[in-house]
Chain A
Amino acid sequence: MAENEYVLRTFNKGDEEAVAALVKRANADNVRSLSGGELWEWKYLHNPNFDPSLVAVAERKGRIVGCNHWLLRDIRLSGSSVCKAILCGDIAVDPDHRKRGLGKSLLLFLRSSSLSNAKGSVLSYMFSTPELGKRLYGPTIGYIQMPTATVRYAKRWSWKNVVRKVNEINTNPRQEDGLGKRATDNFAVVFHVIGAPPLTIALNGGRIRALEESIVDARLKITTDLATFTALSRKEKRVRRLLKAMLGRKLKVKGSLSSIIKLYQNLHRLEEIFR
């Protein structure tokens, strides 16, 4: 990161609107319309533990282009020992300023300042995907991946929101959705996710269709469980995960080799739908 391009500082009164807008913009890939200002205001401004001095922002030419939120909490360690710990909340970097180490610099800015010591915090922790964690919170900053006794359960009984998302993408396509690419593709895949109704995704030129049913002439059928399906929707190490799931018989693919290749070529579209 070219240090002189960016000014790192703590949050000031008056930054609220710019920071909330940035978090919304930076999270647009994950939650198209959920991460609005209302969510940010609730999560930080209305939080009983919110401390503005534990929020760092990066400015470029007077505009906030990055932010990192820390929240101070009391957590139990062992027996009756309770300590102050910092939960690292949203790290957001404007899409135009990514891949310049700004996220890491913001994290280091808060860690290396005397702020966390002044607050008496013993630990810093956060939740993330393993891939992002290894990249961002890697050994250079001294974070370790911590196994927990937390298990996650889920059930899907319909694809209503996937259908809604597809309609939204069709009405409001973004450049990075790749809808302009491979506009000649005509291709349909049926997902049979155990415990959920069948879902057909059909690519027809530049348009996508999602149907909560199995269409007979689909060129490709994928049968899997919800855990494998969720893991495959993530971009990182997907090919490795795909092969592992197939070898472990957790994923069954029925279709010609050419349709499998076509699916692979269109993964970026499915990724946007299932995110």
Chain B
Amino acid sequence: MLKNIGEYNIRKYEEGDETALASLFNNVYHGYAGFVPRTPEYWRWSCLDRPDVEKEGIMVVVNRGRIVAYVVVGKSGNIWESCVDDAHDEKALFSLVLERAIEYLTRVGSDLITLNLPSDDSVARETCEKLGLSELPPDVMFLSVLDFKQLLELLCSAKKDKLNSFDGDFLVKFKDAPSWISPFIMIKFKNGQTEIENENKSCEVLIETDTATFTSIMFGITKPLWALARLKLKIHPPWKLRRVLRLFSFMCLDDPWFFPRSDLG
């Protein structure tokens, strides 16, 4: 039950809300990998203009003139987006918007409700279970790297603090590189600076692998030792193994990926 319920007002979307709604979405989800930043224009297209969404399906909770929660419900039964400002009572607000969403869907003739939640949001998950929702198998994501040089540059810049003390040259050789991917990537660390080039030069350590294995390691799916054991990864000379493992552990992405239903395409 929401404390001080009189301070919270639930209403349908009003023209001009999109700036506050986009900003709330960005505040709540910016910490997840895969997060697509919302601009008011993008939010309008993604939610308001969606063919199965009508204004009555966008419920907004206001506290002292500020939007603190919202839900976008499509007549198809999909909750395209749901957001609660964590400075407020998340459990009560999420429960309130979800109950209203179910009421709305029943009214428009839908017979089911589906929504996506981050797996670490235990409050929202508990609320769903309390309201009788069951966990279903999630949509499966497939990913491929189009530009390894750019990806490594981004990772090096994101992990700059960890990589500052790193020195040495590493050459990554892809055994299966298709014509549109460079088969060689040189990574150089010197005095806190990183240089990444698509070139083949002799260097201290050669990492031989395939594009899928390297992608899996960089995205934290495959452990490098497991790839070595399956002969999907080779390191020359072998005594540089510890150094390569350290490099991978510093560079690999460990942020959880989350996608609301509006981002599934």
Show the binding face of A for B, using Cβ within 8 Å. Answer: 34, 38-39, 42, 46-49, 71, 73-83, 86-90, 111-114, 116-117, 120-130, 133, 137, 139, 141-162, 194-195, 225-227, 230-231
Question: Size of chain B's interface in residues, with CB distance under 8 A?
Answer: 76
* A-B residue pair count with CB separations less than 8 angstroms: 241
Q: With an 8 A cutoff between CB atoms, is B50 at the interface?
A: yes
Neighbour of B136 across the interface among A34, A39, A230, CB < 8 A: A230
A231 touches B140 (CB 8 A): no
Q: Which of B5-13, B85-93, B154-162, B240-248 lies at the binding interface?
A: B154-162
A151 touches B138 (CB 8 A): yes
Identify the closest chain A residue to B131 (Cβ): A155
Q: With an 8 A cutoff between CB atoms, is B150 at the interface?
A: yes
Chain B residues near A116: list those with CB within 8 A: 146
Identify the closest chain A residue to B134 (Cβ): A226
Q: Which of B54-62, B165-173, B223-231, B249-257 lies at the binding interface?
A: B249-257
The answer to whether residues A150 and B142 also contact, given A42-B51, A74-B37, A123-B151 and a CB cut-off of 8 A, is no
Shortest 3 CB-CB distances between A and B: which pairs? A149-B256, A148-B257, A158-B111
How far, in whole Å, are A127 and B33 apart by their CA atoms in the complex? 15
Chain A residues near B36: list those with CB within 8 A: 73-75
B134 touches A153 (CB 8 A): yes
A153 touches B178 (CB 8 A): no
B143 touches A146 (CB 8 A): yes
How far, in whole Å, are A154 and B256 apart by their CA atoms in the complex? 22
Show the binding face of B for A, using Cβ within 8 Å. Answer: 30, 32-37, 39, 41-42, 45, 49-51, 76, 102, 106, 109-120, 125, 128, 131-147, 150-151, 154-155, 157-159, 176, 178-181, 211-212, 215-216, 219, 221, 253-259, 263-265
A150 touches B116 (CB 8 A): yes
Chain B residues near A231: list those with CB within 8 A: 136-137
B158 touches A46 (CB 8 A): no
Neighbour of A152 across the interface among B30, B49, B115, B253, CB < 8 A: B115
B140 touches A145 (CB 8 A): yes
A144 touches B134 (CB 8 A): no
How far, in whole Å, are A157 and B112 apart by their CA atoms in the complex? 6
